[in-house]
Amino acid sequence: MKRMMMAVLAAMLLATACTQGNVFSLEVGQCFNDPDETGEISDVAIVDCAETHNNEVFHLFDIPGDDFPGTDAVLELASQGCIGAFDAYVGTPYLDSAFEIFPIYPTEDSWNRGDDREVVCGLYDLTTNEKVGTARNSGR
């Protein structure tokens, strides 16, 4: 069974053609490199998808509710939401794909202090950890 990598990723070298972007402003179709920091992710290096990169945003959604439901519940909701949107973006079911997914999801602190409910669904190629081009409609 596929293993999903969570929001904490190993630090990688940054590509030369990138800009720094806040995870709260990422958009579907944007590509980015693994973050420099471990733990909570706030900024990532945004890269043109035509250049070598590690990750691609394929879906964004908000978790409903006022009260933080707990880290396990947030992770489960984030994972379900990302898996549910995968096929429509990539063009193949997640379990048949060459890509792995990972959600960047709200922490209890960002939920309570920053009113953060957004999940950023990212994908990456586990075998190479780098790719060139978009995964959109790739059928991979």
Asked, for residue 66, whether it belongs to a domain, the answer is: yes
- pLDDT band at residue 19 using 50, 70 and 90 as cut-offs: low
Asked, for residue 138, whether it belongs to a domain, the answer is: no
Closest by CA position to 17, among listed 58, 43, 41, 52 = 52
Domain that holds residue 74: 18-125
Per-residue confidence (pLDDT) for residue 6, from 0 to 100 = 32
* CA distances, 48 to each of 20, 25, 38, 77, 118 (Å): 12, 15, 23, 29, 23
User: What global pTM score does this model have?
Assistant: 0.82
Asked, for residue 1, whether it belongs to a domain, the answer is: no
Rounded to whole angstroms, the Cα distance separating 101 from 133 reads: 17
Asked, for residue 64, whether it belongs to a domain, the answer is: yes
Per-residue confidence (pLDDT) for residue 3, from 0 to 100 = 36
Asked, for residue 92, whether it belongs to a domain, the answer is: yes
Amino acid symbol at 76: E
Per-residue confidence (pLDDT) for residue 23, from 0 to 100 = 81
CB 106 within 8 A of CB 117: yes
Q: Is the pLDDT of residue 82 over 60?
A: yes
Phi–psi pair at 82, nearest 5 degrees: -70, -45
Q: Is the pLDDT of residue 76 over 60?
A: yes
pLDDT per residue as tens digits for the range 90-136: 999 999 999 999 999 999 999 999 899 999 999 999 888 889 999 99
Per-residue confidence (pLDDT) for residue 16, from 0 to 100 = 30
How many structural domains are present in the chain?
Answer: 1
